[in-house]
Structure 1
Amino acid sequence: MIEQAKQEDIPVSHAVWRNPWHFLAFGFGSGTLPKAPGTWGSLVAIPFVLLWQLLPGWGYWLMLVGFTLFGFWLCGRVANDMRVHDHEGIVWDEMVGIWITFWLIPTGWAWWIVGFAVFRFMDILKPWPISWLDEHVGGGLGIMLDDLLAGVFAWLVMQGLVWGWAHVAAGF
């Protein structure tokens, strides 16, 4: 068994810039920022939402499945390389979580801002069962799973807001 290093002992910036898998897992380098790497990783993911929303709903869904499966492997590999359970700078999971949040959501700045806020709220608060998964599931699956579920919770909230907005707008 590999002894786990402390996060602060890992020379993150050097590994991220030299290794393409680390670069992806660290959200194209956004996870190296000193404060709130999950928030930065989520922000880096937003421009991709603009592209994914051009796809038909089933195409976006297939993209989510592919990036999720890739993320299980990617996050597990990078955590293993770094000898940590879930380094806070690994933000691929936040990126996929935010992409889930915006599946089948209308385009527009207002929706993107609300969706971002709802996802970050779910990811930071970690309501049950997200908190349980975060504490009890390891490896790439564990790194990804809590953020995937935060994305699903945020998606459900967004679907409710879209539904409510449509009914309010129809009433006027």
Structure 2
Amino acid sequence: MKRSELLKNPIHLLSFGFGTGLAPKAPGTFGTLVGIPAVLLFAPLGLNEYLGVIAAFFLLGIFLCGETGKVLKKHDDPAIVWDEIVGYMIALFAIPLTWQTMLLAFVLFRFFDIRKPWPIRWLDKKVSGGLGVMLDDVLAGLFTLVILHALMGAGMLPGTL
């Protein structure tokens, strides 16, 4: 079965980031782009509600990514990008949303997701299934979040001065 045919199934449609994960080059980057409207849609709900959406998306992602991985017979296939969407949402938790902060979060998140510094790489190798797919991007999102909050605390967050 062609991967594009998997988009007919809602599980794979979500796992593939509404098809962005099927991009021939840099599917993770294209998948992260789906995180932008997700952040813009849910961040105005308030911190507790936004955190609830992130938690729900994380738990849903464990299932989605696990199921799609089984069908593709590959753990963390590059086409699976739901984890990037959730990781990007984490990166912007309690951060003022400006185009500058969203761009900086995007660049930092992609850096951590691609380079996978310790312990991200370790988690990526040691934890399997849907949880493993999700955890490395959650950690990349948290690394980004810490940097953005440090910049914000120092009064150096671009677009918020």
String of CA shifts for 1:35-91, please: whole Å, max 9, x gaps.
000000001110111112201111111111111011011100111122211210000
Superposition misfits of 4+ residues, deviation over 3 angstroms: none
Task: For 1:1-172, list aligned pairs within 5 A.
Answer: 11-16=2-7, 18-165=8-155
Q: Give the residue type in structure 2 aligned to 1:13.
A: S
Distance in 1 of aligned mates of 2:114 and 2:134: 14
Q: Structure 2-normalised TM-score?
A: 0.93
Distance in 2 of aligned mates of 1:123 and 1:163: 24
What SS does structure 2 have at the residue aligned with 1:53? helix
Q: What displacement does 1:25 show?
A: 0.3
Identity %: 46
Distance in 2 of aligned mates of 1:22 and 1:81: 9
What SS does structure 1 have at the residue aligned with 2:80? coil
Count of residues in correspondence between the two structures: 158
Distance in 2 of aligned mates of 1:114 and 1:37: 19
Distance in 2 of aligned mates of 1:166 and 1:146: 27
Q: Which runs of 5+ in 2 are unaligned?
A: none
Q: What displacement does 1:166 show?
A: 6.1
Distance in 2 of aligned mates of 1:164 and 1:52: 26
Q: Give the residue type in structure 2 aligned to 1:164.
A: A
Distance in 1 of aligned mates of 2:87 and 2:101: 16
String of CA shifts for 1:133-160, please: whole Å, max 9, x gaps.
1111100011111001111111111111
State the structure with more CA Rg. Answer: 1
Distance in 1 of aligned mates of 2:54 and 2:148: 17
What SS does structure 2 have at the residue aligned with 1:93? helix
Q: What displacement does 1:165 show?
A: 2.0
